[in-house]
Amino acid sequence: MLRHAKADWGQEADHERPLAERGRKDAPVAGRRLAGTGIPFDLALCSTAARTRETWKLAVQELPERPRTVYEERIYEASLGELIALLNEVPEEVDDLLVVGHNPGMHALADALAGEADGDLLARMNRSGYPTSAFAVLTFTGTWKSVEHGVGRLIAFWTPHD
């Protein structure tokens, strides 16, 4: 679960806000760190907001292989329940999924799904507040239809401040 990079606060409507200069610098770094996880993403679900699309465009260039990408308008301003419902719709042939979205949704989703965590990752994630460009990696067994609170294990959490 990747939160979009730092966005500008201009005159645009919220959905159309572009990345700030810092965001354009942080997004490729987040992409390199995602590549470093070794996860071969099968699918990326990305919010339709300008800042998430731009984050993904910069981050995906750092991955060894570009996953199939679906721009999903339901991620924008989604509640925790709506995000879990969206995960429940992921096709079963998808093994590794990346969601590119917004706070508070990305933080809430990672926190809710993480029934367990390696070391102090969960405490560190919650202390950090899930800043822009941060991502969490969770694993779970079962089908996408079985994704619900507490089924995952938080195995990585990264922020640009790390």
Task: For residues 32 and 139, give the distance between their C-alpha atoms in angstroms, rounded to a whole number.
Answer: 20
Q: Domain 2-158: state its class.
A: alpha beta
Q: pLDDT digits over 25-83, tens only?
A: 999 999 999 999 999 999 999 999 999 999 999 999 999 999 999 999 999 999 999 99
pLDDT(147) > 90: yes
Beta bridge partners of 114: 152
pTM of this structure: 0.96
| Contacts for 129 with CB less than 8 Å, ≥ 6 apart | 103, 107
Task: For residues 2 and 132, give the distance between their C-alpha atoms in angstroms, rounded to a whole number.
Answer: 9
Task: For residues 145 and 130, give the distance between their C-alpha atoms in angstroms, rounded to a whole number.
Answer: 26
> Looking at residues 149-154, what average pLDDT do you find?
96
Q: Taking a C-beta distance cutoff of 8 angstroms, is the pair 3, 101 a contact?
A: yes
pLDDT(105) > 90: yes
pLDDT at 10: 85
What percentage of the chain exceeds 90 in pLDDT?
97
Q: Residue ranges of the domains in the chain?
A: 2-158
10 Å CB burial of residue 57 (0-12, 13-18, 19+) is middle
